[in-house]
Amino acid sequence: MDAPLLDLRDIRKTYPSDRGPLRVLDGVSISLRAGETLALTGESGSGKSTLLHLSGGLDQPDSGEVLLDGRDIGQLDDAARARVRRSRIGLIFQQFNLVPSLTVEKNISLQARLANRHDAPFAAELAGRLGLADLLTRYPEQLSGGQQQRVAIARALVSRPALILADEPTGNLDEDTGDTVLGLLLALVAETGAGLLMVTHSPRLADSLQRRVHLSRGRLEG
């Protein structure tokens, strides 16, 4: 059988705090295959974002391994890790991290261009399906929070990454718009065959994904 797309093995992570070391992840293992969608739930502060950052190689665990396509990204140097992130992973974070000086169109395409994976027709299709077609020449400050969130989603998907890591991707949208955008995200993930690891507070949204795990006291349940 092929190696999982993402394989987190016995991940431990501690942060320093005023009251001594704060153990956030205490032996977490997750395996995600291409085409699978997995929801990660847990109370505020339970370590969901931390786990997502580690999965994307944005931070390193104290111990344990993060394997992407069977390769430990912790063993790569910074430049190689950045290359893997750019070509294989789409990130959708709570802070959208759009570039203020670039139009919506350029924000969507920038990273795909850097990774040599720009596909103009697919970018236009995504913009249309996410309701951004009339906003392409605007700048991020001229958009609502929900519109910015949809730009961040288009940007994450446009290079057809193998793995999408999403932190509350519909958190800024009202329930109906959020449901529509999540439906679209799931459809696009299915079409591109990507794997999706999505953090959400909402058990209702978590139920739309194929699997669900719950983080509590540094460990996974379910």
Ligand X SMILES: Nc1ncnc2c1ncn2[C@@H]1O[C@H](COP(=O)(O)OP(=O)(O)OP(=O)(O)O)[C@@H](O)[C@H]1O
Residues that bind ligand X (CB under 6 A): 15, 22, 24, 42, 44-50
Quote the least distance from Cβ 199 to ligand X, whole Å: 6
Residue closer to ligand X (CB basis): 47 or 195:
47
Residue closer to ligand X (CB basis): 59 or 125:
59
Place of tokens 């991290």: 97
Helix (H, G, I), strand (E, B) or coil at 199: strand
Quote the least distance from Cβ 51 to ligand X, whole Å: 7
C-alpha radius of gyration, the chain, whole number = 17
Residue closer to ligand X (CB basis): 159 or 169:
169
Quote the least distance from Cβ 40 to ligand X, whole Å: 9
* Residue (of 145, 134, 214) closest to 178 by Cα position: 145
Residue 136: both structure tokens together: 């392409």
CA distance 147 to 153: 10
Residue closer to ligand X (CB basis): 49 or 109:
49
Longest CA span, the chain: 53
* Residue (of 154, 147, 91) closest to 122 by Cα position: 154
* Residue (of 203, 171, 205, 49) closest to 222 by Cα position: 203
Residue closer to ligand X (CB basis): 93 or 122:
93
CA distance 65 to 68: 10
Quote the least distance from Cβ 144 to ligand X, whole Å: 22
Quote the least distance from Cβ 32 to ligand X, whole Å: 18
